[in-house]
Amino acid sequence: MTLLVLVPFAGALITAVMPARPKLWAFGFAIATLVVGLVTMFTAPDTDLVWMEPLGVHWALEMDGFGKLMVLLTVALVPITMVAAVKDHDKRWYAWALALEAFALLTFLAADLFVFYIAFEATLIPAYFMIGQHGGPHRAKAALKFLMFQLGGGLVLLGALIGFFVVSSDAGSPSYLISDLAQLDIGTTAQRWIFVAMFIAFAVKAPLFPVHTWLADTTEQATTPTSVLLVCVLDKIGTFGMIRLCLGLVPEASAWATPVVVVLALISIVYGAVLAIGQDDLLRLIGLTSLSHFGLITLGIFAATREGLVGAILYMVNHGVATAAMFLIAGFLITRKGTASISSMRGLEKATPVLAGTFLVAGLATAGLPGLSQFVSEIMVLISAFDYHWLVGVVAVTAIVLAAIYVLWAYQRIFTGPAQLSRRPVHDLDRREVGVLVPLLVALLFFGFVPGPLISAAQPVVAPLVDVIQAGE
Amino acid sequence: MFESPGISYATLWPVLLVLAVACAGVVVEAFAPRAARFNTQVSLALAGLVAALAGTVAVGAGSALGASTGEGALVIDGPGVFSQGLVLLVSLGGVALFAERRLDNGVSAFAGQAAALPGTSAERTASQRGLEHTEVYPLMMFAVGGMMLFCISGDLLMLFVALEVLSLPLYLLTGLARRRRLLSQEAALKYFLLGAFSSGIFLYGLALVYGFAGSMSLADIGEVAAEEGSGPLLLLGIGLMAVGLLFKTGAVPFHSWTPDVYQGAPTPVTAWMSAATKIAAFAAMLRLFYVAFGAEGDIWRPAIGVVAVLTMLLGASFAIVQTDVKRMLGYSAVAHTGFLLTGLLGVQTDAFGSTQAVLFYLTAYGFATLGAFAIVSLVRGPNGEVGSLDRWAGLGRTNPWVAATFAVFLLSMAGLPLTAGFIGKWGVFAAALGAGQWPVVVVAIGSSIIAIFFYVRVIMLMFFTDPRDDAATVSTPSYATTVVISLSALATVLLGVIPGPVLSLLVDAGGFIG
């Protein structure tokens, strides 16, 4: 299982020094990671080695159903974005992308909180350079803002990490294994502090209102392949952590904080969607739709019913696929028009029918159209929201309406209407671009009709969590 | 009758060797011909330090550990010997940086003739003749000897003597810069005046503590204090002694010399001094507070906590507005003192406690600061080193390796995972939180966020900003400097990825003994 982390990491180093055809090497390593990921998913045993004895840190990796879904999403998205990125990114980006993949995989595999934390923080360095080295004119500033938010959240998480150490050493010998930490009997006050620290960190990561402000700036300035890796892979670590660590380790405090979290989630859902409607910059728009979606995921997590949690896990996968498609299509559109401003585009439908069609499919998936994968997860989350409180359900349901507005209105403004007269003809998607999008769209359709495999992977993870929480109530 | 104290030369010879090499250096200065001095001094210093390091390792591994010698004046215990070894390691790097002569057309970073007034013909003559001060090596060795004694001082008098032995050469070395001499001399004067005051205050406190306990020995003071409880004499004494030590470590409100001295001193001196002085001062401080004043923890912990909070916040905040890289690192050193003081608030335990945390932090910080200042000495313009951060813009494009290494040091100081600084920061926070000092830890986390901002801003400047017309260039250093930088970077990364061996070593070394 260590191999799954080492392959992309070695790939990053080799790509960085390879003088000839570094991008091909990077792509090769991404494919190798995909293969290793698929193989380890079914064969590899868990890893558990002592790493730093005095601190009770173990190099412990394991993959449950939830982990498998996130690993699958990660190893599949990286090679796809690499193909999408090939024209306007140099080898530094490819090396950083592989490093990012290695650390992201490590967070999803970590069975030791310390290892999780290290990987959680280490993802920021590649992300920082990916934003800073490629993208819009204000990218350095966006990278700094991104990093400051994330590191701030990370340091707060460090407080929780140390809190666990103190509790764990008081209880005997220190251990950072998540399975050991789950056994600890933590006092109510300490548990609440630890929860607050962890939640702040994951809320920054996910992001949730009111610590979301880095998101739109980052997606605006970064290139779209970078945004895909940030929003579709990296941000998932936030919601992943909420399930794995908040619910898993401090369930009582999670139940205690649920009302506040639910309100924040509802604000994120509505506020993100309303902001998205008002955006003129397509990339900001997509970034803000994610704020709305992460609100729904968080709502599903903290409603803490079986449907809600399964729905949230599914949502993480489906949102990853749908938003990746949205970002990449937007990226293709922007390379053609040279701007991300919606108001400077119109009538592209006739010149670029394939582009328009894929945009519509991905957009409707985002909006939760039945038959496309995100619908299933959205419905499950909404059911759990109604279970929690009917008022919460009512507010959350507006997400569907608002999503339809921001997707369809954007489509209308960009693609319909009289065609622009332009000296430079706009070409439709070429074969490489279609090739990038096909796997994503197929996945959207397939999991829309056959969500069974995803649900059965998530079920066993969710059941014990829900039992613990319901026993607590 | 007067009996002479028994001295265990078997455990003390590394210190004595360093001091002997210093004396030998003075003799060389007097009798060796000028042409031979540089090589003789450098090899003498290097050989002395290597031998002393080997000796310290042998003492640390040997059975003599845990004994005191010279009637309790010197205590050979695990933490003391560890910090001695650390001082020696950093000083080896220091000698290598002192001996750098390739960066500035064949002359060292030190003034050709310190007595020549800046801007006079005497100065010009000295620099035309290529004169240089080789006295810096014996001066440095005296300071190293003082630092090693400071780490293991078991009584008040030895503590004071060691403090003076390590301080006086530092004042001199600060004033010996070849370029921007007025700045350097001003820094030296400031450092000397404030340092002399703080020594006086320290001595006063020492006298009061002696008046209270009737003994110079730290262990005896600890016993008396535990039996009789504290009195005004003791409390005043603790406060005044703390002022002396807090001055040396650059804690707020005794920090004002730090940025000036870091900026004014020749960069090799800054590199070495910032690491080594901090190690020695904190080793002594840990011993003083745990062994002698351990029983008064309830009284000094809140006070040190307040100092730590102020130091972290002010150090990090002032570093943000600095435009000179050496001043920025100076204020960052102040902030690090605050983090180290946070670790001091913890308690000694058999497992990973506050002694281990502070010593690990010192190790991490020592290598990072040595390497960072060594890189500062490489970044030059037509008039010597370029301190102005604006002119560092775009360094990541012109010299990716140098910039990347500097980024590693900065990230370690910022405390990012997979660097030594992270484990260090984790340790001191854990030590303080374990002792229930959560308000200080909360401030420490807040200041870390502030601190990250200015470290990351430099990285952003180097990698994402276009170079200016008068951008600094990187000169090619001699092998010695390259080796120092590479080894520091290697240590910074290794201690972050596999800190296990060093942590275990520290845990095995145990706590301070009386």
CA-based nearest distance A144→chain B, Å: 7
Task: Count CB atoms within 10 A of the CB of residue B1.
Answer: 2
A132 CB neighbours in chain B (<8 A) are: 460, 463-464
pLDDT of A288 higher than 60:
yes
A125 CB neighbours in chain B (<8 A) are: 411, 416
Q: What is the 3-state secondary structure (H, E, C) of A384-395?
A: HHHHHCHHHHHH
Is B449 within 8 Å of chain A by CB? Answer: yes
pTM score, whole prediction? 0.91
Task: Count CB atoms within 10 A of the CB of residue A371.
Answer: 12
Show which of residues 318-357 on chain B sit within 8 Å of chain A, judged by CB atoms.
351-352, 356
- In a domain, residue A125? The reply is no
- In a domain, residue A456? The reply is yes
- The pLDDT confidence band at residue A473, using thresholds 50, 70 and 90, is low
Using DSSP, state whether A349 is helix, strand or coil: helix
Query: B74-76 and B67-69 as β-strands: parallel, antiparallel, unpaired?
Result: antiparallel
Tell me if B195 sits within 8 A of B267, measured CB to CB. Answer: no
Is B351 close to A132, i.e. CB distance below 8 A? no
- The pLDDT confidence band at residue B35, using thresholds 50, 70 and 90, is confident
Tell me if A410 sits within 8 A of A340, measured CB to CB. Answer: no
Quote the pLDDT of residue B417: 86
Is A49 within 8 Å of chain B by CB? Answer: no
Is B425 close to A158, i.e. CB distance below 8 A? yes
Phi-psi domain of B338 (left: phi exceeds 0; alpha: psi -120 through 50; beta: other): alpha
B440 CB neighbours in chain A (<8 A) are: none
CA-based nearest distance B418→chain A, Å: 7
Which of A267-281, A422-436, B232-246 is the least confident region?
Answer: A422-436
A56 CB neighbours in chain B (<8 A) are: none
Give the separation between CA B476 and CA A71, rounded to whole angstroms: 45
pLDDT tens by residue, B213-271 = 888 888 889 888 888 887 888 899 999 999 999 998 889 888 889 999 999 999 999 99
Minimal Cβ distance to A132: which of B416, B464, B507: B464
Size of interface A-B (CB pairs under 8 A): 95
Is A165 close to B463, i.e. CB distance below 8 A? no
Strand order from edge to edge, sheet including B384-385: B384-385, B379-381, B473-474
Quote the pLDDT of residue B93: 94
Phi-psi domain of A2 (left: phi exceeds 0; alpha: psi -120 through 50; beta: other): alpha
- In a domain, residue A117? The reply is no
CA-based nearest distance A72→chain B, Å: 26
Is the model more confident about B118 or about B364?
A: B364
- The pLDDT confidence band at residue A332, using thresholds 50, 70 and 90, is confident
Is B430 close to A166, i.e. CB distance below 8 A? yes
Mean of pLDDT values over A84-106: 87
Quote the pLDDT of residue B100: 85
Quote the pLDDT of residue A266: 92
What phi and psi values does residue A401 have, to the nearest 5 degrees?
-65, -50
Give the separation between CA A353 and CA A375, rounded to whole angstroms: 25
Give the separation between CA B217 and CA B221, rounded to whole angstroms: 6
Is A271 within 8 Å of chain B by CB? Answer: no
Quote the pLDDT of residue B198: 92
Query: B67-69 and A57-61 as β-strands: parallel, antiparallel, unpaired?
Result: unpaired
Q: Which residue blocks in B321-419 are alpha helix, DSSP H? A: 325-344, 354-376, 395-398, 400-414
Is B460 close to A132, i.e. CB distance below 8 A? yes
Dihedral of the alpha carbons of A349, A355, A356, A360, in degrees to the nearest 10: 180
| Adjacent-strand bridge partners of A222 | A135
pLDDT of B313 higher than 90:
yes
Quote the pLDDT of residue A472: 61
Is B453 close to A121, i.e. CB distance below 8 A? no
Is B128 within 8 Å of chain A by CB? Answer: no
Quote the pLDDT of residue B77: 87
Q: Residue B438 belongs to what H/E stretch?
A: helix B438-464
B423 CB neighbours in chain A (<8 A) are: 52
Is A260 within 8 Å of chain B by CB? Answer: no
Show which of residues 59-118 on chain A sit within 8 Å of chain B, judged by CB atoms.
117-118
pLDDT tens by residue, B62-104 = 777 777 777 778 888 889 999 999 999 999 999 999 988 887 7
In chain A, whose CA is at the least distance from the CA of B465? A140
pLDDT tens by residue, B484-498 = 999 999 999 999 888
pLDDT of A426 higher than 80:
no
Residues 6+ apart with CB under 8 A from A187: none
Q: Tell me, rounded to whole angstroms, the distance of Cα A356 from its chain centroid.
A: 25
Minimal Cβ distance to A144: which of B351, B441, B457: B457
Is B8 within 8 Å of chain A by CB? Answer: no
- In a domain, residue A181? The reply is no
- In a domain, residue A356? The reply is yes
- In a domain, residue A80? The reply is no
Greatest alpha-carbon span in chain A: 75
CA-based nearest distance B509→chain A, Å: 13
Mean of pLDDT values over A274-289: 88
For testing contact with chain B, the best of A6, A138, A141, A155 (most B CBs within 10 A): A155
pLDDT tens by residue, A204-260 = 988 888 888 888 888 888 888 888 888 888 888 998 988 888 888 888 888 888 889
CA-based nearest distance A119→chain B, Å: 8
Is A166 within 8 Å of chain B by CB? Answer: yes
Minimal Cβ distance to B430: which of A143, A148, A162: A162
For testing contact with chain B, the best of A92, A107, A158, A200 (most B CBs within 10 A): A158
User: What's the token pair of residue A156?
Assistant: 């707060």
Instruction: Report which of B173, B154, B163, B148 is spatially closest to residue B195, judged by C-alpha positions.
Output: B163
Give the separation between CA B236 and CA B214, rounded to whole angstroms: 15
- In a domain, residue A286? The reply is yes
User: What's the token pair of residue B362?
Assistant: 């010192």
CA-based nearest distance A54→chain B, Å: 6
**DSSP letter at A258?**
H
Quote the pLDDT of residue B319: 92
Is A52 within 8 Å of chain B by CB? Answer: yes
Minimal Cβ distance to A53: which of B417, B463, B504: B504
- Share the mean pLDDT of chain B: 89
Is B499 close to A129, i.e. CB distance below 8 A? no
Is A54 close to B411, i.e. CB distance below 8 A? no
A55 CB neighbours in chain B (<8 A) are: 352, 426, 503
Instruction: Report which of B341, B461, B465, B288 is spatially closest to residue B389, judged by C-alpha positions.
Output: B461
Domain extent for A350: 257-473
Quote the pLDDT of residue B114: 76
Quote the pLDDT of residue B206: 92
Quote the pLDDT of residue A470: 73
Please give the angle made by the CA atoms of A255, A257 and A258, to the nearest 5 degrees: 65
For testing contact with chain A, the best of B360, B411, B429, B433 (most A CBs within 10 A): B429
Quote the pLDDT of residue B514: 62
- The pLDDT confidence band at residue B42, using thresholds 50, 70 and 90, is very high
pLDDT of B194 higher than 60:
yes
For testing contact with chain A, the best of B460, B462, B502, B506 (most A CBs within 10 A): B460
Is B456 close to A144, i.e. CB distance below 8 A? yes
User: What's the token pair of residue A400?
Assistant: 């569907």
- The pLDDT confidence band at residue A414, using thresholds 50, 70 and 90, is confident
Give the separation between CA B151 and CA B74, rounded to whole angstroms: 9
Q: Residue B301 belongs to what H/E stretch?
A: helix B297-320
Dihedral of the alpha carbons of A16, A20, A21, A26, in degrees to the nearest 10: -30
Minimal Cβ distance to A148: which of B356, B453, B503: B453
Minimal Cβ distance to A121: which of B417, B449, B506: B417
Quote the pLDDT of residue B311: 94
Residues in chain B: 514
Amino acid at A468: V
Query: B74-76 and B379-381 as β-strands: parallel, antiparallel, unpaired?
Result: unpaired
Give the separation between CA A207 and CA A231, rounded to whole angstroms: 9
CA-based nearest distance B461→chain A, Å: 9
Mean of pLDDT values over B278-282: 93
Is A140 close to B465, i.e. CB distance below 8 A? yes
Which of A15-29, A196-210, B271-285 is the least confident region?
Answer: A15-29
Q: What is the 3-state secondary structure (H, E, C) of B242-261?
A: HHHHHHHHCCCCCCCHHHHH
In chain A, whose CA is at the least distance from the CA of B346? A166
User: What's the token pair of residue A284?
Assistant: 């900001």
Domain count, chain A: 1
Instruction: Report which of A322, A300, A452, A315 is spatially closest to residue A377, judged by C-alpha positions.
Output: A315
pLDDT of B111 higher than 70:
yes
Instruction: Report which of A281, A277, A274 is spatially closest to residue A295, judged by C-alpha positions.
Output: A274
Give the separation between CA A428 and CA B341, rounded to whole angstroms: 63
Quote the pLDDT of residue B125: 80
pLDDT of B202 higher than 90:
yes
- In a domain, residue A246? The reply is no
A52 CB neighbours in chain B (<8 A) are: 423, 498-500, 503
